[in-house]
Amino acid sequence: MCLKEECMYQRFYGVLALCVCVFAFMAVSATAQDAYQEPAMSGKTMEVSDADLQKAAEAYVEIVQINQAFQESVQDVDTPEERQSLQVNANEKMLGAVEDAGLNAQSYNMIVQQVGADENLRQEFTAKLRALQ
């Protein structure tokens, strides 16, 4: 594997972990009521359409840019309150990127988790990311 692809995978998994954490936090409150109404999907795979995979890739590209801007701006803060304010702002922008792509946070998280767990889906996702760059 070439070094560029290796770096892309490392960045992918780093941002993937960040996205899962951010959206899991936001989705918990939004889906708490649904947890009692819908059966748990643990252990089950979700069918991801090509259109939804494309939407997730578009959101992912935006999320990477938002995260990079956050990482740069957070270096200049002096207090934990400023850092938290920047984090909240970045989280809101990430959620906006997901919604602008046509998904909700829960759907995006499920797709990203499937991409992380399924090698074929990950290859399709990576191809879509390359096409967007």
Per-residue confidence of the chain (133 residues) as pLDDT tens digits?
455 555 555 555 555 555 544 544 444 334 333 433 343 444 556 789 999 999 999 999 999 999 999 999 999 899 999 999 999 999 999 999 999 999 999 999 999 999 999 999 999 999 999 999 8
| HEC-encoded secondary structure of the chain | CCHHHHHHHHHHHHHHHHHHHHHHHHHHHHHCCHHHCCCCCCCCCCCCCHHHHHHHHHHHHHHHHHHHHHHHHHCCCCCHHHHHHHHHHHHHHHHHHHHHCCCCHHHHHHHHHHHHHCHHHHHHHHHHHHHHC
pTM over 0.85, yes/no = no
